[in-house]
């Protein structure tokens, strides 16, 4: 029994078990910049200071320990060699109480200690504890027995359950715990024990209810996805082929100075935080000999994945993967030659365990240059040709720098790329892959008598398995500081031009620019029927020809316009930022997450859509753009047993920022 429990723990938290094993030298480097992530030593020091000053009890646990960034002004004024101010924000759980503290590492003191205003992110031990609680409950064991299973045969997936204003759940810390048959191979999600789950109160450490809506047949196939399993069960693999690979034999062109990266026309700072994952700051572009600010910071703000199935076992599956679970905590080691090119630089991330001690995730980030054989630009000039030979096209290869991480939250894997191009553009891309969440059903094909009912809210993707419909929304916080902190946000829409009566054209479009005055006016849905450019501009500065420098924020792939009821549907209300593609607020260092500071069981009172009701002015001041990307997912057979990576993103493109196309100065590759 003990061994099986251990197997489950390892299976469930494999990444973290590995990381603990490898934890060691190289992760306690001291910060060399005010925005650096907390080092292993700093994490330990913060806990030691709290303990010394009497704030900790024996049962204290730490759902969140993170850097409190110094004021923007102080960071912008900071020079290499100056002292590095370090303050640490902690969320501490003691029994059912949650506190929020602020520790000053330099002053060796606790500056602040309050009751937290909400439920903290979940901790790994709560995850594992919820599984143990469910499996050791007699009613759950009896329900497993009805299915000819015992606790030894299964593992469970404790899930956040949202907040639906249910009276019995008020004041509790709830997870709902469905289980799966322990796999013989790689696929942990192919055999759901549908119709059975436990409702667990993590604070009380008790099972509140065991819900059993009836026994359904178990899917039989293991649906493994390793090469050996595919060979053995799903037919022969493709014949081996000659490898097609990217390579960089002469070494990288980027330079790493601590946590600052410089490459081509770009420099920026990066760190990893437990909640948003990678945070990229101080993004500057080189324009001739001058470094110019584009963004102060960019990072993931929230992720929302609501399933569209109203049944008892599914209606509450409306996850906020970043705020509830942590995109940083669930970073997974990147595999050379699969997740990133084998010549990439792989870097670890330092986070913390539930007991506050440091945790290293190896290869959590990769950085690489890439030229996939596309042109950045080209032109073939017909008028330059002679009668005897072709004058070849002029052009340059598309070379870019990628900063990549991959977070694995349950069955899904999300790649997040920050891509820096030689034409002055930055792309932020999210690649969704991994496994669809599946629901066990009686149907084995669409000809089955119950198939119509079974597939009312999803698609039958394998015998006995329906993948319910759902969405993936990703909100990014984009703190633009274009040539300074004071910027304005604008919408330049296409409108029909009024034409003189004697014009032979009867229809053409022109543009009309609107600068919204307050945050409430700056909510926009990107809609192809009303085409527009959305951009941020610094009206205090002049670029070439007397223009004001700006950057456009343009969608790549579908955007997250959702016709859902954000006022009355509890999970949508908690994530009402999905109502609009663009939001703009004045810079507030405490407003970092569109779904609120405490996402777990939040009620929607602390979210972007509530903040903007203050109608703060946003013209020619320090502003933040909140951009929601994402897609609606109607699953299909090709998504199973693993889905191909689906990329969505946003491109930040210079608009009258540079005097000409910056990629005009890029070079052809060196020849031997």
Q: How many whole angstroms separate alpha carbon 245 and alpha carbon 220?
A: 38
Using a 10 angstrom Cβ sphere, with 0-12 exposed, 13-18 middle and 19 or more buried, the burial of residue 519 is buried
- Cα–chain center distance at 527: 24
Number of helices followed by number of strands (H, E) in the chain: 10, 33
The reply on whether position 633 binds Cu ion by CB under 5 A is yes
**Any long-range contacts for 523-526 (C-beta under 8 Å, 24+ apart)?**
523/579, 523/580, 523/582, 523/583, 523/612, 524/491, 524/580, 524/581, 524/582, 525/559, 525/561, 525/579, 525/580, 525/581, 525/582, 526/555, 526/559, 526/561, 526/581, 526/582
Shortest Å distance, C-beta 472 to Cu ion: 5
The two three-digit tokens of residue 36, written as one number: 């650096």
Considering 12, 296, 319, 412, which one is annotated as catalytic?
412
Per the annotation, the verdict on 593 as an active-site residue is no
Number of residues lying near Cu ion (CB under 5 A): 1
Q: Do the Cβ atoms of 405 and 272 come closer than 8 Å?
A: yes
- Cα–chain center distance at 252: 27
Residue with nearest beta carbon to Cu ion:
633
Q: How many whole angstroms separate alpha carbon 359 and alpha carbon 350?
A: 6
The footprint of Cu ion on residues 578-597 (CB under 5 A) is none
Distances, alpha carbon 593 to alpha carbons 34, 275, 320, 598, in Å: 21, 10, 11, 9
Please provide the size of the chain in residues: 672
CB-based contacts of 203, cutoff 8 Å, min separation 6: 95, 96, 172, 173
Q: Do the Cβ atoms of 585 and 493 come closer than 8 Å?
A: no
Binding mask 591-630 for Cu ion (x = CB under 5 A): ----------------------------------------
Q: Do the Cβ atoms of 464 and 444 come closer than 8 Å?
A: yes
Short-list 543, 321, 315, CA closest to 434: 321
Closer residue to Cu ion (CB): 267 or 633: 633
Q: Do the Cβ atoms of 462 and 639 come closer than 8 Å?
A: no
Q: How many whole angstroms separate alpha carbon 330 and alpha carbon 411?
A: 12
Closer residue to Cu ion (CB): 110 or 305: 305
Q: How many whole angstroms separate alpha carbon 341 and alpha carbon 359?
A: 26
Per the annotation, the verdict on 412 as an active-site residue is yes
Residue 9: Cβ within 10 Å count: 19
Shortest Å distance, C-beta 409 to Cu ion: 12
Q: Catalytic positions, please?
A: 321, 412
Residues forming the site for Cu ion (CB under 5 A): 633
């Amino acid at each position: 029994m003990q061994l099986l429990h251990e197997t489950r723990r390892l299976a469930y938290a494999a990444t973290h078990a590995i990381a603990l094993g490898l934890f060691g030298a190289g992760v306690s480097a001291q910060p060399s910049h005010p925005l650096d992530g907390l080092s292993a030593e700093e994490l330990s020091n913060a806990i030691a200071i709290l303990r010394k000053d009497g704030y900790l009890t024996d049962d204290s646990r730490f759902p969140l320990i993170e850097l409190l960034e110094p004021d923007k002004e102080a960071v912008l004024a900071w020079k290499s060699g100056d002292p590095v101010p370090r303050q640490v924000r902690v969320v501490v759980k003691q029994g059912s109480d949650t506190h929020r503290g602020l520790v000053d590492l330099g002053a060796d003191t606790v500056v602040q200690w309050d009751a937290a205003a909400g439920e903290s992110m979940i901790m790994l031990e709560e995850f594992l504890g919820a599984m143990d609680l469910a499996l050791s409950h007699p009613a759950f064991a009896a329900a497993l027995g009805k299915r000819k299973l015992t606790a030894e045969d299964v593992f469970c997936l404790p899930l956040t359950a949202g907040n639906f204003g249910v009276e019995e759940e008020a004041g509790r810390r709830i997870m709902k715990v469905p289980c799966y048959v322990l796999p013989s191979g790689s696929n942990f999600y192919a055999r759901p024990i549908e119709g059975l789950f436990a409702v667990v109160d993590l604070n009380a450490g008790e099972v509140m209810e065991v819900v059993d809506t009836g026994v359904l047949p178990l899917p039989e196939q293991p649906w493994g996805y390793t090469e050996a399993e595919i060979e053995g069960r799903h037919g022969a693999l493709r014949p081996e082929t000659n490898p097609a690979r990217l390579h960089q034999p002469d070494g990288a062109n980027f330079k790493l100075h601590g946590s600052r990266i410089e490459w081509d026309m770009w420099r920026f700072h990066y760190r990893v935080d437990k909640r948003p994952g990678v945070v990229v700051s101080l993004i500057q572009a080189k324009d001739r000999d001058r470094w110019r600010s584009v963004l102060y910071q960019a990072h993931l703000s929230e992720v929302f994945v609501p399933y569209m199935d109203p049944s008892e076992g599914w209606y509450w599956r409306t996850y906020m993967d970043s705020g509830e679970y942590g995109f940083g905590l669930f970073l997974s080691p990147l595999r050379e030659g699969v997740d990133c090119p084998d010549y990439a630089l792989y870097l670890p991330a330092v986070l913390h365990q539930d007991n506050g001690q440091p945790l290293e995730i190896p290869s959590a980030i990769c950085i690489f240059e890439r030229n996939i054989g596309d042109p950045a630009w080209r032109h073939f000039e017909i008028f330059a040709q002679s009668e005897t030979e072709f004058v070849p096209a002029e052009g340059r290869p598309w070379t870019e720098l990628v900063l990549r991480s991959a977070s694995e939250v349950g069955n899904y894997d999300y790649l997040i790329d920050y891509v820096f191009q030689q034409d002055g553009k930055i792309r932020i891309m999210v690649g969704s892959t991994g496994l669809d969440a599946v629901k066990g059903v009686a149907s084995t094909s669409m000809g089955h008598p119950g198939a119509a009912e079974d597939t009312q809210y999803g698609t039958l993707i394998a015998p006995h398995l329906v993948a319910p419909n759902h969405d993936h929304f990703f909100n990014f916080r984009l703190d633009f500081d274009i040539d300074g902190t004071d910027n304005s946000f604008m919408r330049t829409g296409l409108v029909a031009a009024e034409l003189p009566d004697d014009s032979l054209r009867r229809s053409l479009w022109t543009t009309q620019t609107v600068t919204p005055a307050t945050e409430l006016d700056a909510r926009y849905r990107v809609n192809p029927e009303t085409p527009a450019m959305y951009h941020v501009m610094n009206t205090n500065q002049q670029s070439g020809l007397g223009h004001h420098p700006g950057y456009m924020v343009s969608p790549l792939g579908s955007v997250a316009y959702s016709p859902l009821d954000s006022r009355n549907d509890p999970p949508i209300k908690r994530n009402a930022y999905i109502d609009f593609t663009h939001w703009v607020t004045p810079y507030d260092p405490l407003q970092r997450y569109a779904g609120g500071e405490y996402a777990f069981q939040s009620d929607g009172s602390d979210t972007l859509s509530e903040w903007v009701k203050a109608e703060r002015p946003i013209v020619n001041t320090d502003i933040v753009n909140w951009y929601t990307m994402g897609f609606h997912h109607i699953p299909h057979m090709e998504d199973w047993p693993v889905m191909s990576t689906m990329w969505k993103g946003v491109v930040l493109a210079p608009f009258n920022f540079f005097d000409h196309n910056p990629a005009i100065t890029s070079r052809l590759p060196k020849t031997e």
